[in-house]
Amino acid sequence: MSRKITTPLFLMIFMTYAVACGSGSQGTSGAEQKREEATEAIKFTSIDYDPLTAPAKVAAKVNYAISIIAKSGNEVCRGTTQINIMSNLELKFPSGTVKCLTLTIDLSKILGNSFLSANPGLGNFTSDGKVLYIKEIGKATFDPPRPFFLGPLVQNPADYKDFKLTVPETVTVNDPEANVSLSGTGQFDVEVLSVGEKYSNQLSPANKFDHVMRWAISSSGFDGVPAKYGLLYKKMEWYWNTQPLMIPKIVISGDLAAFIGSGGSGISRLVGDVTISLSVKDFEYGT
């Protein structure tokens, strides 16, 4: 499998989107469609942004409903959160807590203080044309770089139909809580579950997404390494609308205690593995 060092993530995203917008399909309103696609690209990526001299901008503000479901099927937590999708594809959490039995859980701790934040250096990202790989996430270092994202912008979802990938991994973590270095082996499995899917929900019936590619990254192994380091959740499933770019749903499966650290052990004994769903309520693109 051949990989190459990518350009900085924002530049790669923008150039990929620009190519997609410039090669839109031609029909009775081909020119108008191109203009609409280009407008969406500008909405999301803000072409006056220079990643070398300025911080990332908010590309979209999305309000999500959160639901945490126990293995039994019972809902144990419910809440809402806003996630800011940044122009470099980083997700940030201005706010967002959920009530879970007697605890209030900070969603930023579940998903990481900065969920997709990573060292933006050239050596941290590689790509084989379909998958974006990453070497370091926070305190975790992966050998080889782990699958991180598809695309991340997808020009032709049909190219991903029935796509599957397995990557054996070794992860090393400098655990600041225990002041020790941890290491574990395991693997990541990437699978595209559907392409061209339509998505809507009762929370936001006016928002209909017609170009959804649904895909998942699963992890197994990594014994002794907390899941909160390096996004080692059992499964992360993405509903990725490719045109316009939006993330209408995220589903994360695994052990709740591993998500939130020492504060969740009591809940974990009661409910075991859980599924965390974030479903879009409303959103607005940045300017």
Please give the pLDDT value at position 160.
94
Q: Indicate the length of the chain as a whole number.
A: 287
CA 80 to chain centre: 18
Low-confidence ranges of the chain (pLDDT < 70): 1-54, 88-89, 95-97, 99-104, 106-123, 152-153, 175-178, 256-271, 287
pTM of the model: 0.76
SS (H, E, C) the chain: CCCEECCCHHHHHHHHHHHHHHCCCCCCCHHHHHHHHHHHHHHHHCCCCCCCCCCCCEEEEEEEEEEEEECCCCEEEEEEEEEEEECCCCEEEEECEEEECCEEEEHHHHHCCCCCCCCCCHHHEEECCCEEEEEEECCEEEEEEEEEEECCCCCCHHHHCCCEEEEEEEEEEEECCCCEEEEEEEEEEEEEEEEEEEECCCCCCCCCEEEEEEEEEEEEECCCCCCCCCCCCCEEEEEEEECCEEEEEEEEEEEHHHHHHHHHHHHHHHHCEEEEEEEEEEEEECC
Residue 264 CB coordination number (10 Å): 21
Instruction: Locate the domains of the chain by residue range.
Output: 4-285
Would you state the pLDDT for residue 259? Answer: 63
pLDDT for res 54:
55
Say whether the peptide bond before residue 205 is cis (omega within 30 degrees of 0). Answer: no
Could you give the CA distance from residue 69 to residue 76 in angstroms, rounded to a whole number?
Answer: 6
Residue 242 corresponds to which tokens in the numbers above?
Answer: 């490719």
Cβ neighbour number for residue 42 with a 10 Å cutoff: 17
CB 169 within 8 A of CB 218: no
Provide the pLDDT for residue 176.
64
Q: In this predicted structure, what is the pLDDT of residue 217?
A: 95
